[in-house]
């Protein structure tokens, strides 16, 4: 497993997006940050992405929509969801749709890094298309 992950961060809130990217960069990863699911889907098709970190609640398409669209398009990158929501049913739905972790905002650097490491292990264990 390569220690540096290419991480796509999706959050409509500029401060949250920049903070997540800075934390990931400081941890030795290569983050790319975008403000919408639409932009994220473009990046997932055009660039190599190891892990996706997305906000749950965004205007337009949400983190749930991203999970659904990734499943429909057979995109297999592990997804970590960030949320300020306390709605347990909504959070459970993200896991049902394939999120490997849910981080409640505000999350700590250690929580984000542990989730990234788990995502990389899961990704390495998945069978890859020939």
Coil, helix or strand for 5?
A: coil
- pLDDT tens profile 71-93: 999 999 999 999 999 999 999 99
- pLDDT tens profile 25-54: 999 999 999 999 999 999 998 889 999 999
Q: How far apart are CA 14 and CA 33, in angstroms?
A: 9
In the chain the domains, ranked by start, together with CATH numbers, are: 6-107 (3.40.50.2300)
Coil, helix or strand for 68?
A: helix
Assign 126 a pLDDT band (cuts: 50, 70, 90).
Answer: low
Whether omega before 106 lies within 30 degrees of 0, making that bond cis, reads: yes
Looking up tokens 């429909």, which residue turns up? 72
CB contact at 8 A, 62 and 37: yes
């Amino acid at each position: 497993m390569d220690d540096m992950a290419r991480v796509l961060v999706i959050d409509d809130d500029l401060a949250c997006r920049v903070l997540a990217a800075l934390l990931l960069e400081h941890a030795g990863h290569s983050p790319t940050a975008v403000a919408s699911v639409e932009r994220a889907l473009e990046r997932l098709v055009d660039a190599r992405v190891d892990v996706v970190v997305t906000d749950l609640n965004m205007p337009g398409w949400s983190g749930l929509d991203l999970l659904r669209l990734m499943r429909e398009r057979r995109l297999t990158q592990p997804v970590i969801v960030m949320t300020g929501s306390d709605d347990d049913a909504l959070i459970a739905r993200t896991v049902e749709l394939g999120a490997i972790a849910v981080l409640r905002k505000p999350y700590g650097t250690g929580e984000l890094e542990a989730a990234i490491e788990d995502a990389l292990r899961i990704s390495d264990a998945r069978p890859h298309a020939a």
